[in-house]
Structure 1
Amino acid sequence: MDRTQQRFQIQRGALPSGKPVDLQEVAVLLQAGDDVAIARLPLAKGLHVRLPNGRLLIVGQRVLAGHKLALREIAQGQPVLRYGSIIGFATQTIEAGSHVHTHNLAVGTLHQQYVYGSELHLVQPVSIQEQRTFQGYRRPDGRAGTRNYLALIGTVNCAASAIRAIQKRFGAEILRRYPQIDGIIGLTHKNGCAMGSQGIATLQRVLAGMAAHPNVGAYLLVGLGCESNQIPNLISEMRLDVGERWKEPLSLNLQEHQGIAQTVEEGVRLIGELLPRVNDVRREAIPISELTLALQCGGSDGWSGVTANPALGYCVDELIRQGGTAVLSETPEIYGAEHVLLRRARSQEVGEKLLERLRWWEQYAAINGMEMDNNPSPGNKLGGLTTIYEKSLGAIAKGGSMPLNAVYQYAEQITERGLVVMDTPGYDPVSATGQVAGGANIMAFTTGRGSCFGFKPAPSIKIATNTPMYESMNNDMDLNAGVMLDGEGMSAEEAGRQILEEVIAVASGKKSKSEAQDIGEEEFAPWILGAIM
């Protein structure tokens, strides 16, 4: 019987009674001491599985692909290990061969003992001969862009309609005259007024980060006039009028220009003047040390921490060896796995800053009537993830193994190289907005359930965790890390090298799948902090 026939019969439960299959044929065991393995394919009740120690295990009920199979009996209240770490506690006795999920596993309370820097190691940079380059745009301030957009940036939601009207006046026929420009994007949002000082400060960091972003060749600020987020204040607080790039930022105010119609006409005139200037650039060879890679995962499943995230982690390690930067975010999806990052913290100060952010999230969730385990989402659970601890341990694999060099507030400008953390929510559009506003010029996005995410002005590369989803959503997925599970399997190192090559190609101008479908403008979503009055 060949492997294909065997896998088919396993799913149907049609193997001869008592005939065992080896665990590695039907499931993935991540570490020798783990209590669970992850089913490679649906496992039928009654299947006999031979464990690495030679013991036989009988599957007690159907276990879906990506879900957890108990390898031994686990008493009620005892911790359950995956990745060699606790992913939760048994809420009832779990028999060997059982399906482990929400019906018998919950978060419980972790009693972590944190150690700072115990696994810290020096980065071994590549030799001069190994240094890689991409074809990018060198900006006057020295930073490097992977795209060249012209941005219309709203200071308040009240300016959104005017921005969309200005955009509509520049169709494909006009933009074809400017081949070095990737498009005119309208960064509109639902904020900008009736907000407290914390909310305004956060929004201003986001808007200023987009205005000064290396993927933006020029920008125009558009406001209403009476909003809390005043244009002159934004310019002065965020120092948009300082530096080589901009001396007098361009702006429009609907109330000063007698309403939408006149504002739109003036905006069209200003953009028309900017187009030749923004087009007057050419791509050139730039070291990939100038890449700042935003790390995202959305629609995660049980395979995220087995395939796509570890492969992306290998890509991150190689990028950092080249002198580049990677930004791990989604702080609620670090919760329960922070001990792994703290062991790689460059200093105790960096580690304590991460812990301070996690304690803030505990309080923030509590005062809003939520719990940290409200994440994972229903889709995550359908894909096999049970608790936030399990999701987090898989999510941080995107960050590779390099030292953690810094922790940043939301949309704060990233100045450190190497692996850094930016504090963001787990919600992808809000998280990505903060990362890009902080300076990320390209993004890698892993997904198991299938996220169609794009983001302008930074291109998003989507990496599927499993082959069935990749094949069903091929128009949206750039790469398939599911090949790590197929046939002889690709190693995480091989898949990581493939991701790195795609990052370099997309940074050099290759369109990602989301860009090819013109997706990525509506995903701009600044974090709304504080009360709206």
Structure 2
Amino acid sequence: MASSILRIHPKDNVLVALKDLPKGSIFTFEGVDYTLVDDIPAKHKFFMQDMQPADEIYMYGVLVGKAQYAIPRGGLMHTDNTKHAADPYTFRPYNYHWEAPDVSRFAGRTFNGYLRSDGRAGTANYWLFIPTVFCENRNLDVIKEALYNELGYSVTGKYRAFTRELLAAYEEGRDLADLSPEELSAFTHKQNRVFKNVDGIKFLNHQGGCGGIRQDAAVLGKLLAAYADHPNVAGVTVLSLGCQNLQLTDLLEDIKARNPQFDKPMFVFEQQQSKSEEQLIKEAIQKTFAGLVDINKFTRQPVPLSKLTLGVKCGGSDGFSGISANPAVGYTSDLLVALGGKVLLAEFPELCGAEQNLIDRTIEPEAAHKFMALMGAYSQAAENVGSGFHMNPSPGNIRDGLITDAIKSTGAAKKGGNSPVVDVLDYTEEATKPGLNLVCTPGNDVEATTGKTASGATLILFTTGLGTPTGNPICPVIKVATNNALAARMADIIDINTGAIIDGKKTIEEMGEDILEYCIKAASGEVIPKAVQLNQDDFIPWKRGVSL
């Protein structure tokens, strides 16, 4: 791809600028000369032909928009001259053929995971605190501070030291503006974890469990049950107030319904039945400490790659997302499917325009109709409040070349690769079939990662062109940059850089294999993704309202 421009699909009538192209530049592409009538920033598109009002615009081989007025050949695509459009979709008999990639490089490979009693394998070994209601968030915060600081899980040591240095300088009467960065960055935080085989103690603070509608509490119960049952979780502490909508008995029934053989240590506390807040907190810490001693006895052991469940997500996307990072992750997805693993593709508002392709790839007609029903209901709910999938691209997306939702979505769908769709899951439903699964979640970064984890993702590949610090409490999130500039600028949050695809130094297939190698190391605890290192434990339950 070592060129200035790119045509993604033979059917496309726009070209993508791979670097800034000044007005007046002349290019020859497939024997045709193009003179740019506008400056074309990198990641943006220009038209290959004169466009008239209502003319259809194609990218990735599908309809992504319509011209709003006459646009000359070589003109810049932008939000004034292009509006979202996507072809309708329907179920039709379709004999989809997929040729699996060559996986000989990975044949017989394993990762070192935590094998659970039910045969599933975790990529991490966490203790999880769950509140049934937001009223317990403060108690969780107190417990978190105590356990993190004393057991070696805090990442704030360097910032506390930084503040102490500022305080000392202030008390000495020194001018803080004169302090050099070197003087204020001498402290190096070193973790000294007591429990070497416990990867973390995690807390699911949330704003639900009471108020709202009862259906919200019911969905929250299923979500929390999914997290308790997750293979990355070895033990659970539950805190409840007592009078909330989501009753303890409801949560325990949800856990049993999800996994009748649930056998993890679980300690349950209800504040309205305790003698005091202090007694509740101390007892919760004491019992949890004993539980940590027990789960610290678990050790990693080799398990086949087929036991990996990979969630794929994009956020802070740019005009390169559908060209570099997403298709590379898509190739990784195909590799894992060919190896017998599971892949979860979600973000239903960001599948707009890609629906027909996914329907045609779905093996079971029932699953295809379920996908259509979920997409239709979701889209209609957005339109009922005056919104719609067409309003999904953020200002940052648009600035970096994603002009319509169909452009964003067709590029986003590349993360799922090309394998057949084996199942379609509603929010919190567990993925049980090896292969590519579609999971209904919003496109919102945290709501989507929260939902994918509930469906069983044990690793999440998160592509980004603009940069985002999103993580998850119990599922390691691996950040994949679409371009070199981002990887250099935000190196503290980026794990993998696919900019070499844009430079023409690596193919999508080569990068996809590199990403799978990284996943194997991350699943084995050999490398720790930046989001995990930084304790970026983002968790937002979806209330099933309109969230894009």
TM over 0.5: yes
The 1:83/1:128 distance shift into structure 2, 3 A limit, reads: closer
Q: Distance in 1 between matches of 2:57 and 2:203?
A: 48
Pairing 1:39-438 to 2, within 5 Å after superposition: 39-52=17-30, 54-108=31-85, 110-112=87-89, 114-121=91-98, 130-175=107-152, 176-239=193-256, 243-246=260-263, 249-438=266-455
Q: Does 1:32 align with 2:47?
A: no
Q: Distance in 1 between matches of 2:309 and 2:37?
A: 47
Confirm or deny: 8 A CA contact 1:148 1:216 kept in the other structure: yes
Instruction: State the 1:201 CA deviation.
Output: 2.2
The 1:322/1:125 distance shift into structure 2, 3 A limit, reads: farther
Instruction: State the 1:526 CA deviation.
Output: 0.7
Q: Distance in 2 between matches of 1:129 and 1:99?
A: 44
The 1:159/1:492 distance shift into structure 2, 3 A limit, reads: same
Instruction: State the 1:124 CA deviation.
Output: 7.7
Confirm or deny: 8 A CA contact 2:139 2:281 kept in the other structure: yes
Q: Does 1:524 align with 2:536?
A: no
The 1:319/1:242 distance shift into structure 2, 3 A limit, reads: closer
Confirm or deny: 8 A CA contact 1:235 1:241 kept in the other structure: no
Amino acid at match of 1:32: P
Q: Distance in 1 between matches of 2:485 and 2:478?
A: 18
Instruction: State the 1:263 CA deviation.
Output: 1.3
Instruction: State the 1:174 CA deviation.
Output: 2.9
Unpaired runs of at least 5, structure 2: 153-192
Task: Single out whichever of 112-121 and 363-372 deviates more from structure 2.
Answer: 112-121
What is the RMSD of the two structures over their aligned residues, measured on CA atoms?
A: 2.0
What is the identity percentage for the equivalent residue pairs of Structure 1 and Structure 2? Answer: 34
Instruction: State the 1:120 CA deviation.
Output: 3.7
Instruction: State the 1:297 CA deviation.
Output: 0.2
Alignment match of 1:492 (pick from 486, 496, 508): 508
Q: Could you say which residue in structure 2 is the equivalent of 1:19? A: none
Instruction: State the 1:85 CA deviation.
Output: 0.8
Confirm or deny: 8 A CA contact 1:116 1:345 kept in the other structure: no
Instruction: State the 1:177 CA deviation.
Output: 2.2
Unpaired runs of at least 5, structure 1: 1-22
Q: Could you say which residue in structure 1 is the equivalent of 2:478? A: 461
The DSSP-based 3-state class of the residue aligned with 1:415 is: coil
| Cα-to-partner distance string for 1:437-458 (whole Å, 9 max, x where unaligned) | 1211110000011112221211
The DSSP-based 3-state class of the residue aligned with 2:3 is: helix
| Cα-to-partner distance string for 1:52-111 (whole Å, 9 max, x where unaligned) | 1x2211100101100001111122101101111111111111210000121111024634
Amino acid at match of 1:86: L
Confirm or deny: 8 A CA contact 2:480 2:498 kept in the other structure: yes
| Cα-to-partner distance string for 1:98-149 (whole Å, 9 max, x where unaligned) | 0012111102463445535432437589579813210100011211000011
Instruction: State the 1:530 CA deviation.
Output: 5.6
Instruction: State the 1:32 CA deviation.
Output: 2.3
Q: Distance in 1 between matches of 2:488 and 2:84?
A: 34
The 1:372/1:530 distance shift into structure 2, 3 A limit, reads: closer
Q: Distance in 1 between matches of 2:256 and 2:459?
A: 24
Q: Which runs of 4+ in 1 moved over 6 A?
A: none
| Cα-to-partner distance string for 1:203-256 (whole Å, 9 max, x where unaligned) | 111100111111111001111110000011210233179644428842111111
The 1:32/1:342 distance shift into structure 2, 3 A limit, reads: same
Q: Distance in 2 between matches of 1:248 and 1:149?
A: 12
Q: Distance in 1 between matches of 2:106 and 2:336?
A: 15
The 1:70/1:126 distance shift into structure 2, 3 A limit, reads: closer
The 1:358/1:530 distance shift into structure 2, 3 A limit, reads: closer
Q: Distance in 2 between matches of 1:387 and 1:96?
A: 19
Q: Could you say which residue in structure 1 is the equivalent of 2:186? A: none
The DSSP-based 3-state class of the residue aligned with 1:25 is: coil
The 1:438/1:25 distance shift into structure 2, 3 A limit, reads: closer
Q: Could you say which residue in structure 2 is the equivalent of 1:449? A: 466
Q: Does 1:508 align with 2:486?
A: no
Aligned length: 505
Confirm or deny: 8 A CA contact 1:42 1:64 kept in the other structure: yes
The DSSP-based 3-state class of the residue aligned with 2:356 is: helix
The 1:287/1:241 distance shift into structure 2, 3 A limit, reads: closer
Confirm or deny: 8 A CA contact 1:484 1:491 kept in the other structure: yes
Task: Single out whichever of 357-366 and 231-240 deviates more from structure 2.
Answer: 231-240
The DSSP-based 3-state class of the residue aligned with 2:73 is: coil
Q: Distance in 1 between matches of 2:24 and 2:335?
A: 44
Confirm or deny: 8 A CA contact 1:70 1:97 kept in the other structure: yes
Confirm or deny: 8 A CA contact 1:443 1:459 kept in the other structure: yes
The 1:408/1:91 distance shift into structure 2, 3 A limit, reads: same
Query: What is the TM-score when the length of structure 1 is the normalising length?
Result: 0.91
Amino acid at match of 1:149: Y
Confirm or deny: 8 A CA contact 2:101 2:335 kept in the other structure: no
Instruction: State the 1:33 CA deviation.
Output: 2.6
The 1:490/1:167 distance shift into structure 2, 3 A limit, reads: same
The 1:218/1:111 distance shift into structure 2, 3 A limit, reads: closer
Q: Distance in 2 between matches of 1:348 and 1:463?
A: 34
Confirm or deny: 8 A CA contact 1:137 1:144 kept in the other structure: yes
Query: What is the TM-score when the length of structure 2 is the normalising length?
Result: 0.89
Q: Could you say which residue in structure 1 is the equivalent of 2:158? A: none
